[in-house]
């Protein structure tokens, strides 16, 4: 049995993954180019090729069963993972049924919200997630060619840090941010109220994919609103929400009449309001003379056509000097005109709760606590590395001191061991306020500019990973392909010693390549 499992693992590992990635990207790049050139007919033909592609099928299965963060979450069938044999069987099923895919029902998981209410996370089965990922491979490049440049949520090559930087550029001292206001826009139950007709009318896809996506939408419907909603938890759901909401950024403009002095004739001057959207979260920046009511009326009309509406309770207009929260940050223009960005109160509170729960847990020792704390602290510090992070509060001085006292007690007053564990539990991450480099205009990873995207990707990681990528000219140290935002990058210790941080012992590799390197040492579930 062990021998068969090993042979199956080897057969999965030895698939031509490098060729698969190249083949799929070549087709996606052609879809993107066809839409940019206005050739929709050619794009649809290329999307059919992706749906039939062996490379796309295997990559989709690998993504949902091996790489995605929610890979261990079961659907209604109860399956949390696939054996290697089941992965090959699923590939055969996708090959036979991808053009006429029927979705199973969804498993509902209640998720508490900070206002006390709950939202339902609806999880498809692994097979349905694999089909959705396959469909996403075909649909995403087409819509990436059309998406607005100020849309940053759930898009390849874009992140919340891009939105953070745009706010800095529009509210900094040179931009007269001290006199500006901000509309904090909240869409009421966005994912639950998106009209299916709004998605299907905008969707660029051949019939096989359209039928599958329509069935996907119907598999997670709310009985009260049978023609609305996209299931949260599906692989393709964020893309469908972006498709429905695309264009809301462009309506924040109008033409104002301006009377000329001599001729007394009127001319039209276009006024564009800077707007930043991350999925269903959006802020719009206004000058003192701009009319917030008119803007909100336009947005309400846009949303009404798509089955949604603005939340009157949560949407508000805020003076920039009063400060506002967005994407886990608190933004404020100080009285001297300088722009400041810090972690929001809610974000910092949730982070501290996670840290305290681990530090105060008596079920495991300091060594395990340090291992559990490290990724949480590193992730939090990386997310806020373009904020103002000096001072004892955000430097985590008090939190670290509390952890040190616990570690010191558990290691029986061995200060050297306690200090070593503390350094491991609270890894340092460099920060530089408002220094993020934004993605250029409407560029997309599907435009084929691998040099730009690989170099940009290397700047998103911490010092050691970034340095390793630069040494490797932004290519994976295992497969040799460029490291773009398509897949996370891991830092691999060549000699297996995770205490050896010498540069010669470190290589940057794709997450999947990291799995394959260690596959011979462990059985894949």
CA 128 from chain centre, in angstroms, equals 21
DSSP, res 497: -
Report d(CA 207, CA 185) in Å as an integer: 35
Q: What is the pLDDT of residues 354-391, one digit of tens each?
A: 999 999 998 888 899 999 999 999 999 999 999 999 88
Quick one: pLDDT at residue 255? 42
Asked if 69 and 62 touch (Cβ cutoff 8 Å), the reply is no
Residue entry with tokens 């996670």: 354
CA dihedral 369, 370, 374, 380 (to 10 degrees): 60
Quick one: pLDDT at residue 364? 86
DSSP, res 223: T
* Long-range Cβ pairs for the range 497-502 (8 Å, 24+): 501/464
Q: By CB neighbour count within 10 A (0-12 exposed, 13-18 middle, 19+ buried), where does 128 fall?
A: buried
Counts of helices then strands in the chain (DSSP H, E): 19, 13
Phi and psi at 295, nearest 5°, equal -60, -45
Residue entry with tokens 């199973």: 104
Q: What is the pLDDT of residues 490-503, one digit of tens each?
A: 888 888 887 788 88
Report d(CA 220, CA 234) in Å as an integer: 10
Quick one: pLDDT at residue 305? 93
Report d(CA 488, CA 457) in Å as an integer: 10
Asked if 106 and 75 touch (Cβ cutoff 8 Å), the reply is yes
Residue among 319, 288, 289 at smallest CA distance from 182: 319
Quick one: pLDDT at residue 122? 85
Q: By CB neighbour count within 10 A (0-12 exposed, 13-18 middle, 19+ buried), where does 319 fall?
A: middle
Residues of the chain scoring pLDDT < 50: 1-2, 255-271, 523-525
Quick one: pLDDT at residue 266? 39
In this prediction the pTM is 0.89
């Amino acid at each position: 049995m062990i021998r068969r499992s090993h042979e199956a693992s080897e057969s999965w590992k030895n698939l031509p993954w490098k060729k698969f990635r190249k083949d799929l990207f070549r087709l996606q790049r052609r879809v993107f180019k066809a839409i940019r050139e206005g050739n929709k007919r050619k794009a649809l033909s290329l999307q059919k090729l992706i749906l039939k592609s062996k490379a796309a099928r295997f990559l989709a299965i690998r993504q949902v069963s091996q790489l995605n963060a929610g890979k261990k979450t079961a659907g209604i069938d109860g399956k949390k993972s696939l054996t290697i044999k089941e992965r090959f069987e699923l590939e055969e099923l996708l090959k036979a049924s991808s053009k006429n895919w029927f979705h199973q029902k969804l498993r509902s998981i209640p998720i508490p919200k900070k206002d006390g209410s709950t939202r339902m996370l609806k999880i498809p089965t692994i097979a349905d997630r694999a089909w959705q990922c396959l469909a996403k491979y075909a649909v995403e490049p087409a819509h990436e060619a059309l998406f607005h440049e100020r849309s940053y949520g759930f898009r390849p090559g874009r992140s919340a840090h891009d939105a953070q930087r745009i706010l800095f550029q529009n509210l900094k001292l040179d931009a007269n941010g001290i006199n500006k206001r901000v509309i904090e826009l909240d869409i009421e139950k966005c994912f639950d109220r998106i009209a299916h007709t709004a998605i299907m009318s905008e969707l660029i896809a051949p019939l096989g994919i359209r039928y599958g996506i329509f069935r996907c939408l119907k598999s997670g419907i709310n009985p009260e609103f049978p023609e609305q909603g996209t299931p949260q938890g599906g692989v393709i759901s964020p893309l469908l929400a972006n498709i429905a909401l695309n264009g809301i950024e462009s309506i924040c403009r109008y033409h104002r009449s301006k009377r000329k002095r001599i001729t007394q004739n009127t001319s039209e001057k276009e006024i564009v309001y800077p707007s930043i959207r991350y999925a269903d979260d959006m802020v719009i920046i206004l000058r003192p003379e701009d009319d917030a009511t008119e803007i909100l009326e336009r947005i309400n009309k846009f949303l009404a056509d798509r089955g949604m509406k603005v939340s009157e309770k949560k949407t508000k207009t805020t003076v920039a000097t009063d400060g506002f929260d967005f994407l886990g940050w608190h933004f404020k223009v100080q009285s001297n005109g300088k722009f400041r960005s810090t972690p929001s109160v809610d974000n910092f509170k949730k982070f501290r709760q996670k840290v305290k729960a681990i530090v105060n847990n008596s079920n495991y020792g300091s060594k395990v606590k340090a291992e559990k704390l490290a990724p949480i602290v590193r992730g939090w510090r990386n997310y806020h590395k373009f904020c103002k992070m000096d001072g004892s509060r955000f430097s985590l001085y008090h939190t670290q001191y509390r952890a040190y006292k616990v570690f010191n007690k558990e290691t029986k007053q061995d200060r050297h061991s306690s200090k070593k564990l503390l350094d491991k539990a609270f890894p340092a991450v460099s920060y530089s306020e408002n220094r993020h480099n934004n993605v250029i205009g409407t560029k997309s990873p599907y435009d084929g500019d691998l040099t730009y995207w690989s170099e940009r990707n290397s700047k998103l990681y911490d010092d050691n990973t970034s340095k390793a990528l630069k040494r490797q000219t932004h290519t994976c140290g295992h497969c040799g392909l460029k490291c773009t935002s398509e897949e996370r990058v891991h830092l691999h210790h060549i000699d297996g010693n995770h205490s050896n941080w010498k540069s010669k012992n470190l290589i940057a590799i794709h997450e999947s390549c990291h799995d394959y390197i260690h596959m011979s040492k462990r059985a894949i579930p």
